[in-house]
């Protein structure tokens, strides 16, 4: 299968996720909302999973909602606040995940970011100075370049303006300490090695938010998500040190061995497992296919997608190259040898792709 370097999109399933899912199938197939014995067993498992996830996120169990995925969590956060506050405008950083941007829709104000992808706090404060603002959204860390956002500072500005703050923490949960000060926090189990189709939305008590209906819980999947989160959380500190060292090696080696390359994102205030670089005179899609043939599954922060046919809005907002980009995101199964084999073949593949276009 080669080496998987796209953990920022989806982590490989954690071994305990499969074990927990299969074990839960026998005891959680019934509707946890009913009163008979099989339903009560399912309810106990669901409540235990809720308590586990709430403990990791640092919230109360009754503040935590399971959703149908990370995108669903974001949509529920935005729509619920809009309905409760009877306001429409959403202020968000220009580098938010497309799920946030699509949920905000036309009634939105995008706040600019620096060259490293960090939100401009002065611009955020100005955008909040309006009675029409329902919600602000600032991600915990960027999904394409790994830059950590100043969430606590943004939360202070939001509190002063009387505006709730939504934090998309999909890339941080299970990988890095979570920020504080937020009103709503969203995440996705597939980002920490849990099953796809399970998301989490934490809503702090006192936040004006309405949920018109509670989605039915896929109890075995929720149990698997909770088990995998508990496992990766226990390993997170040690893994962060190990993966950060490998990312540093990638950053240094790529800069030294690949001509006309730019490492994007903040070199210090970043997630431990993500690095993105831009290669001048390179078609990113062609390079990704070449890497795939060489046995490395990587992603591109700027690859055109079937639904938008547009380059990365994140890289465009940062003012860096929006083509020839490679995002490498590591996970617990990646070894130092995997990284060094990648670094050994990368310069030659970039040279080959450039030669094909006469560069």
Task: Provide the annotated active-site residues.
Answer: 304
What is the tens place of the pLDDT at every residue in 107-161?
Answer: 999 999 999 999 999 999 999 999 999 999 999 999 999 999 999 999 999 999 9
Averaged confidence pLDDT in the chain: 94
pLDDT at res. 301: 63
- Name which of 202, 268, 167, 187 is nearest 232 in CA terms: 187
Three-class secondary structure assignment of 35-61: CCHHHHHHHHHHHHHHHHHHHHHCCCH
Asked whether residue 212 carries a pLDDT value surpassing 80, the answer given is: no
Give the CATH architecture of domain 3-8+235-356.
Alpha-Beta Complex (3.90)
φ, ψ for residue 144 (rounded to 5)? -100, -35
Give the C-alpha separation, 135 to 119, whole Å: 16
Distance of CA 97 to the CA centre of its chain: 8
pLDDT at res. 358: 75
Please compute the mean of the pLDDT values over residues 196-225 and round it to a whole number.
92
What is the tens place of the pLDDT at every residue in 9-29?
Answer: 999 999 999 999 999 998 888
What is the tens place of the pLDDT at every residue in 64-93?
Answer: 999 999 999 999 999 999 999 999 999 999
Asked whether residue 4 carries a pLDDT value surpassing 50, the answer given is: yes
- Name which of 307, 302, 271 is nearest 288 in CA terms: 302
Please compute the mean of the pLDDT values over residues 287-307 and round it to a whole number.
79
State in words which class domain 15-232 has. Answer: alpha beta
- 121, two tokens: 């706090």
Please compute the mean of the pLDDT values over residues 247-267 and round it to a whole number.
97
- Name which of 230, 211, 195, 253 is nearest 11 in CA terms: 195
Helices 336-356 and 219-257, axial angle in degrees (round to 10): 60
pLDDT at res. 299: 92
Least confident range from 33-37, 39-43, 209-213: namely 209-213
The domain ranges of the chain are 3-8+235-356, 15-232
- What torsion do the CA atoms of 265, 269, 270, 272 make, to the nearest 10 degrees? 140
pLDDT at res. 217: 81
pLDDT at res. 359: 66
């Amino acid at each position: 299968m080669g080496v998987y370097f796209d953990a920022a999109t989806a982590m490989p399933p954690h071994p305990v996720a499969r074990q927990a899912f299969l074990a839960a199938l026998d005891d959680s197939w019934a509707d946890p909302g009913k009163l008979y014995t099989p339903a009560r067993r399912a309810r106990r498992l669901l409540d235990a999973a809720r308590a586990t996830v709430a403990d990791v996120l640092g919230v109360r169990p009754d503040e935590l909602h399971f959703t149908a995925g990370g995108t669903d969590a974001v949509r529920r956060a935005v729509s619920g606040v809009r309905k409760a506050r009877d306001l429409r405008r959403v202020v968000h950083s220009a580098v938010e995940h497309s799920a946030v941007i699509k949920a905000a829709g036309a009634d939105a104000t995008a706040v600019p970011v620096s060259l490293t992808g960090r939100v401009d706090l002065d611009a955020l404060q100005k955008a909040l100075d309006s009675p029409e603002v329902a919600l602000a959204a600032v991600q915990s860390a960027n999904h394409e370049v790994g830059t950590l956002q100043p969430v606590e500072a943004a939360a202070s500005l939001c509190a002063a303006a009387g505006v709730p703050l939504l934090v998309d923490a999909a890339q941080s949960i299970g990988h890095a300490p979570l920020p504080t000060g937020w009103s709503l926090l969203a995440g996705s189990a597939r980002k920490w090695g849990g099953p796809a189709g399970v998301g989490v939305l934490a809503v702090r008590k006192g936040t004006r938010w309405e949920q018109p209906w509670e989605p039915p819980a896929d109890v075995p999947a929720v149990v698997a998500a909770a088990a995998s989160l508990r496992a990766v959380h226990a390993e997170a500190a040690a893994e962060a040190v190990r993966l950060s060292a490998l990312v540093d090696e990638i950053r240094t080696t790529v800069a030294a061995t690949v001509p006309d390359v730019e490492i994007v994102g903040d070199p210090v205030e970043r997630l431990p497992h993500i690095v993105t670089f831009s290669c001048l005179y390179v078609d990113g899609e062609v390079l990704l296919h070449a890497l795939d043939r060489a046995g490395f599954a990587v992603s591109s922060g700027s690859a055109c997608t079937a639904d938008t046919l547009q380059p990365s809005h994140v890289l465009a907002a940062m003012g860096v190259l929006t083509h020839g980009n490679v995002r490498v995101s590591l996970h617990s199964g990646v070894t130092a040898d995997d990284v060094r084999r990648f670094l050994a073949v990368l310069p030659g593949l970039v040279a080959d792709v450039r030669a094909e276009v006469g560069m």
